[in-house]
Amino acid sequence: MPVLSPVRWILGAVTALLVGFSKSAVPGMAVVFVPLFAEVLPARASTGALLPLLILGDIFAVVFWRRHAVWRHIARLIPWTLAGIVGGWIIMGRIDDRVMRPVLGAALIFILAVNVWHNGKRAAARRRGIPIEDTVPDAWWFAALFGLAGGATTMISNAAGAILTVYLLSMRLPRDEFIGTSAWYFLIVNVIKVPFSVNLGLITVPSLLLDAALAAGVAAGSVVGILTARRIPQRTFVIVAQALAFASAVRMFF
């Protein structure tokens, strides 16, 4: 197990709590806990050590939200995400992600802006009593774009939460379906990533021992998330999800 200072143990415990809470209540909080865990371990090592904690959080979330997943969205994304994971595995350590991250960040901000504009347009039309078609993007390339970007990003930096958030916001899923779909998607994706991370030397025996020490924090965060998630109004949930996705997108520039 890595030798950590008391401050780093505290940061690790807070990370574990946030992972559990995010998975069970407010997806997209990777913008907070990914850089936080990078203060516990070096950036590359933190990527591998964080993965088992994410999987544990996914398991808790799936147990509670499993019946709310919308599987057609998962089925559309997973094949493209797998291709993105393979691509991220190939380029990891060869191409600096500083080249890719700003492009992804700009694309996310653009899509979020269009999404917010469209929702505002629909709300204004309703207030005036004007019917407006409630459509969602259904083209195959839309899922392909988000799947590839999500796969590459999650392999490189465990930060695909913002990408899935923008996709699911575009699908206009209710809160419970949003969390359930996100939980199943990331459980599948993160399990797929394990052999790639082991191959790259990112998951090791010492990192697994650290994960075991922090696992209780993930469990505690998950319980808090489960107890509070349904108290969050739909509108508040969407606003928080949009804000976290925007913050994640901005962070990709730095």
Residue by residue, DSSP assigns 33-64 as: HHHHHTTTS-HHHHHHHHHHHHHHHHHHHHHH
pLDDT of amino acid 26: 85
State mean pLDDT over 114-140. Answer: 65
State mean pLDDT over 227-238. Answer: 86
What secondary structure does DSSP assign to the chain, as a single string? -----HHHHHHHHHHHHHHHHHHHT-TTTHHHHHHHHTTTS-HHHHHHHHHHHHHHHHHHHHHHHGGG--HHHHHHHHHHHHHHHHHHHHHTTTS-HHHHHHHHHHHHHHHHHHHHHHHHHHHHHHHTT----------HHHHHHHHHHHHHHHHHHS--HHHHHHHHHHTT--HHHHHHHHHHHHHHHHHHHHHHHHHTT-S-HHHHHHHHHHHHHHHHHHHHHHHHHTTS-HHHHHHHHHHHHHHHHHHTT-
- Banded pLDDT at 93 (limits 50, 70, 90): low
Q: Which residue has the higher pLDDT, 161 or 37?
A: 37
Give the largest CA-CA distance in the chain: 63
State mean pLDDT over 29-53. Answer: 83
Q: Which residue has the higher pLDDT, 42 or 78?
A: 78
State mean pLDDT over 20-29. Answer: 88
pLDDT of amino acid 245: 76
pLDDT of amino acid 141: 87
pLDDT digits (tens, 9 = 90+) for 169-221: 888 888 899 999 999 999 999 999 999 889 888 899 999 999 999 999 999 99
Q: Domain spans of the chain?
A: 6-251
% the chain with pLDDT above 90: 40
